[in-house]
Amino acid sequence: MSLPVVLISEEEIQQRVAALAERISNEYGDDDELVLVGVLKGSFIFLADLARKLTIPRTIEFIAVSSYGSGSKSTGAVRLVMDVRGNIEDKHVLIVEDIVDTGHTLKYLIGMLESHRPASVKTCALVRKAERAEVDVNVDYLGFDIGDEWVVGYGLDYAEQNRTLPYIGVVKPTDEFDAFIHAAALWPLLRWIQA
């Protein structure tokens, strides 16, 4: 299988993450206790880079959700798989997401974390597919807007593959098509073996 085609290069990502970290550091300041809540699994690399570039006091929490449905099709129903461990009451929370697609996950997470009675809840996402939005959800700190395409790398996956690529890439549709053709080509052989 060929490597995904580069959509956002490693250099562009690193520059954008540094700019986001600078903005977040300036806007929160040293007096606030900031809790970064990373959404597993997709945000793990973004969170690691962003957290290390911040210049203000911060702690790390993780949360895990899964959306009902299969493959790349989201049904909009979100289920909490793992809640934050630490106490976030009266603290400033920044949700760190890999990608906002329909927006259902982020909207659910905001409501969920607000029930812990934090001082504030804001959102940070590396990528957003604006034209796919189904619900209105505010992204306070956004890395990049992209079109309606499936992206992988820098934490993002397709069927658990390609999470550790240093760049964000698009999986070529031909890869899946090739796989289909290869599988189809094997059918006559399998039937011949069975016969």
* Positions 23 through 52 that interact with Mg ion (CB under 5 A): 39, 42
Q: Identify which of residues 16 and 41 has a Cβ nearer to Mg ion in the complex.
A: 41
The active-site residue, picked from 30, 31, 32, 101, is: 101
Contacts of 182 (CB under 8 A, 6+ apart): none
Please tell me whether residue 123 binds ligand IMP under the rule CB under 6 A: no
Check: CB of residue 63 under 8 Å from CB of residue 39.
yes
- Contact between 94 and 122 (Cβ < 8 Å): yes
Q: What's the CA gap between 35 and 74, in Å, rounded?
A: 28
Q: Is 172 in the site for ligand IMP (CB under 6 A)?
A: no
Whose tokens are 């085609």? That residue is: 5
Please list, in sequence order, all residues whose beta carbon lies within 8 angstroms of the beta carbon of residue 117, skipping any fewer than 6 positions away.
89, 90
Q: Find the shortest distance in angstroms from Cβ 98 to Mg ion.
A: 5
Verify whether residue 101 is a known catalytic residue: yes
Closest separation between CB of residue 157 and ligand IMP, Å? 6
Residues 26-85, interacting with ligand IMP (CB under 6 A): 42, 67, 74
List residues with catalytic annotation.
Answer: 101
> Which spans of this chain sit near Mg ion (rule: CB under 5 A)?
39, 42, 98
